Amino acid sequence: MKKLILSAAMMFAAFMTQAAVGKQIEEVKFKSGEEKVSTVVWGDEVSPGKEALCTITMKGRIDLGPIEAEVSCTTSATTCEAATVSAISCLSAAMRTVRTVIL
């Protein structure tokens, strides 16, 4: 039980540290690479206002071997918690949609 409380406290502390920094947190850091095919942007553009303190990016991949599609959702919000929840929700919905298309 103590271990569980300690783990939860550590996770909360780590989360608060990231939130305090207020910078973009990426699930995966990608090196800059040449776009071999095309880039298509969908959804609403982010233009963080003064109140947006935290930006979160979540990424997912559809791997076909020699070709790959990469889906990313970037959310800005006043708190990192809200941004994370929204980015996860966006990516989950996107990947669900892809699965629907495939099946």
CB neighbour list of residue 25: distance below 8 Å, 6 or more residues apart: 18, 54, 55, 56, 57, 80
Restricted to residues 49-68, the positions that interact with another protein (CB under 8 A) are: 49, 51-52, 58-68
Tell the smallest beta-carbon distance from residue 49 to another protein (Å).
Answer: 8
CB neighbour list of residue 78: distance below 8 Å, 6 or more residues apart: 51, 52, 53, 54
Determine if 94 is a binding residue for another protein (CB under 8 A): yes
Please say which residue, 5 or 43, places its beta carbon nearer to another protein: 43
Residues within the interface to another protein (CB under 8 A)? 27-31, 33-49, 51-52, 58-78, 82-83, 85-87, 89-91, 93-95, 97-102
